[in-house]
Structure 1
Amino acid sequence: MESVGVGLIGTGYMGKCHALAWNCVNPVFGDCPQVKLVHLADITEAQARDKARELGFADSTADWRAVIENPQVDVVSVTTPNSFHPEMAIAALKAGKHVWCEKPMAPDIKDAERMRDAARGSGRVAILGYNYIQNPIIRHMGSLLDGGEIGEVFHIRLEMDEDFMADPDALFYWKSEASAGYGAIDDFAVHPLSLVHKLLGPVSSVMADMAMPYPDRPLADGGRRKVETYDIASALIRLENGASGTLCVSRTAWGRKGRVAIQIFGSRGSIIFDQERMNELRLYRNDGPSANQGFATILASPDHSPYERFLPAPGHGLGFNDMKTIECRQLLAAMQDENAHVIDFEEGLIIERTVHAMAQSYHARGWVDV
């Protein structure tokens, strides 16, 4: 594959992240097909035209179907609000395009299953935007676990917290609509669940609770609208490998800006990671004299590939958009039938089913098998 034509649907925060990744992947890795930014879609013709100029796309449109129908487009980035993912991703797959869709798959599990089925029948690559699994220090965590550095894992603790919805006077927007999904568990919890899925395997059963701290929010033109999603959730989880765990997520946690924390406790040690300090992890080994035992901090470095593609020395630090560039490289690997570290629609559906089991558990007030 000498070149790949890219289409982008949606140019908000994540759309820009995808565009940056497409622009950076070859300069960073140097071994990719030539990336051609072909066609971009946004809500209005004027906005699409402006974004195409800013992000480097050759053409623009207010009709997302035109991107999918463009014969020069080989792969489509879908970065729209969650409720639009199924229609757009399925249409792209049916048109013979590869798909890079942001998470979660869909608010409705039936739609997520339809997306999985479309990917199965298309013969094309379809992956989800779980960029945290691409962090070189997270990949190193996986190597430590696979090497038995902390022994048998018997308990994990997961947290994801931000405060972008902590202000009760923040305006109502689409993430508070029921059409977006349940709230924190599918907007947020899917990220730590993606880490667990890749590091330790699937979740087998859950018992969850959800909370709605603010019952309504103000509208821009006056009045208030009822909030339809849950901004806080917590769950007990059991993994298929027998380990127990807890999961706590909040979109209203003042002071937390991008916390995705995972603690893994084993028979011979522990590993701790926090996304707000995304270039380090802490490792405890129960070795040697107790007087000398303690957590060691491991900084991301060129020893943790592909960090070396970005920086020549430890301590300088990768960022969120760098993870997206790594994810883009893994997508291109999958498109060339190479081994790729991604979460495709098959694995993504497993995570979606975990989320829906949590919602079912909340309403049933008991344990639910995934």
Structure 2
Amino acid sequence: MPTPKQQLRIGLIGTGFMGKTHVFGFAAAQRVFDLDYDIVLHTVADRSEELAAAAAQTLGFSTSSGDWKTLIADPDIDVIDITAPNALHKQMALAALAAGKHVYCEKPLATTAADAAEMAQAAQAAGVRTQVGFNYLCNPLFSLAREMIRGGELGEIRSYRGIHAEDYMADAESPFTFRHDPAGGGALADLGSHALATAEFLLGPIERVQGDSVTVIASRPDGKGGRRNVEVDDLGRAFLRFASGASGSLEASWIATGRKMQHDFEVYGTKGALIFSQERFNELHFFDTSDRQGRRGFRRIEAGPDHAPYGAFCVAPGHQLGFNDLKAIEIAGFVDAIAGKRPEPFGFKAGHRIQSLVEAIQRSGLEGRWIDTSQ
């Protein structure tokens, strides 16, 4: 019989959209990948005992709690998984780190770069493993695109365009949420953080930014019969200069009518170009200038087993991965880091970097000048 694996016991805080996605990711990762641990859904916490108990029953946790601090204090829990509202990330993560637990936190890591830096320093001091939820980076076609760029298939990279646009805030009468609070919101922080992470994943460090942030919907219903003023941005844009010499632009919008999940990039080089859209995220489109005249055009590269780890999910090309599969890939990388098999895929230090870029773009817009973001 095979030797039993050591358990990795998970304590989840928050059971909304991303909380459920994390649970699906843990379940799939354990079955798709040969992990060094058996993942155990130990305890889930939510705003009340009733909500937590219902979530435990639905999601498969052994126990539940209406107080997230009980998860921190429980010596049987190895990993604290934070999917609570952004403004709560710092308090929860620092408590978990002080207790010597590994921490998995949805993005943004914190609501300010200063807080994110404090969290990254605490993680380093604790000697544990951390992960920030940027699972779009786990798409096998992102790795292929980076491989093609670094391998010179596009030649010298001249320019980049990135966008993350959705429409879940397009209705001016939709209510004020935690995302509209200056302590934890804004389209640039919520969506632009993904676009920034993608840009640096593909092209390396961004060394200068010039930004502009716009609040389009000035107030929203407060749920009490009145309205509350909105101070955060609905649109965020930036010009980028990369350390490589390439230049680019980026846009984040949560009022892009009709867009449900547009996380796109375009990369243009002297020998070729790449185009990607999250709305068809099993496809990467490649233009090669070495094609002869009359036969030129963007050709589709379809995700398949040749693009690891696609083959761990499905042996047939063209059958497509989904959003939750990307979360499973992210979790597998995090678990491998806990096992000491690889560095952290996207730890708290990387999360701090993205928050620093967000704030640099915001400050640039206020000051009307380029901001240095070189590391």
Give the TM-score band, short-chain normalised.
over 0.9
Q: How much has 1:308 moved relative to structure 2? A: 0.9
What runs of 5+ residues in structure 2 fail to find an aligned partner? none
Q: 1:70-89 counterparts in 2 under 5 A?
A: 70-89=74-93
Indicate yes or no: 2:261 matched with 1:235: no
Equivalent of 1:126, from 94, 116, 130?
130
Aligned to 1:317: 320
Aligned to 2:63: 59
Q: Secondary structure at the match of 1:291?
A: coil
Indicate yes or no: 2:351 matched with 1:353: no
Aligned to 2:365: 362
TM-superposition CA deviations, 1:257-306 (whole Å, max 9, x none): 00011001111010111111110010011103221111110010011111
Backbone CA RMSD of aligned residues? 1.1
Indicate yes or no: 2:151 matched with 1:155: no
1:26 & 1:352 partners in 2: Cα distance? 31
Aligned to 1:290: 293
Aligned to 2:50: 46
Contact kept in structure 1, 2:235 and 2:254, CA below 8 Å: yes
Amino acid at match of 2:277: D
Q: How much has 1:31 moved relative to structure 2? A: 3.4
Aligned to 1:114: 118
TM-superposition CA deviations, 1:26-56 (whole Å, max 9, x none): 1111434111111111000000000011111
Q: 1:93-242 counterparts in 2 under 5 A?
A: 93-181=97-185, 183-242=186-245
TM-superposition CA deviations, 1:63-110 (whole Å, max 9, x none): 111111111111111101111111111111111100110111111221
Aligned to 1:26: 30
1:314 & 1:126 partners in 2: Cα distance? 33
Name the stretch that deviates more: 119-128 or 1-10.
Answer: 1-10
Indicate yes or no: 2:275 matched with 1:272: yes
Indicate yes or no: 2:256 matched with 1:253: yes
Amino acid at match of 1:8: L
Contact kept in structure 2, 1:105 and 1:348, CA below 8 Å: yes
Q: Secondary structure at the match of 1:179?
A: coil
Amino acid at match of 2:213: M
1:225 & 1:324 partners in 2: Cα distance? 35
Contact kept in structure 1, 2:94 and 2:122, CA below 8 Å: yes
Q: Secondary structure at the match of 1:50?
A: helix
Ranges of 4+ aligned residues in structure 1 off by more than 6 Å: none
2:358 & 2:176 partners in 1: Cα distance? 24
Contact kept in structure 1, 2:35 and 2:335, CA below 8 Å: no
Cα separation, partners in 2 of 1:191 and 1:261, compared to 1, 3 Å:
same
1:42 & 1:136 partners in 2: Cα distance? 33
1:219 & 1:349 partners in 2: Cα distance? 31
**Normalised TM-score (structure 2):** 0.96
Q: Secondary structure at the match of 2:15?
A: coil
1:274 & 1:107 partners in 2: Cα distance? 28
Amino acid at match of 1:139: S
1:186 & 1:218 partners in 2: Cα distance? 22
Contact kept in structure 2, 1:136 and 1:304, CA below 8 Å: yes
Q: How much has 1:156 moved relative to structure 2? A: 0.3
2:163 & 2:36 partners in 1: Cα distance? 35
Q: Secondary structure at the match of 1:36?
A: strand
Q: How much has 1:339 moved relative to structure 2? A: 2.0
Contact kept in structure 2, 1:42 and 1:48, CA below 8 Å: yes
Equivalent of 1:3, from 7, 10, 26?
7
Aligned to 1:336: 339
1:319 & 1:342 partners in 2: Cα distance? 20
1:136 & 1:32 partners in 2: Cα distance? 22
1:347 & 1:241 partners in 2: Cα distance? 19
1:99 & 1:345 partners in 2: Cα distance? 9
Contact kept in structure 2, 1:25 and 1:32, CA below 8 Å: no
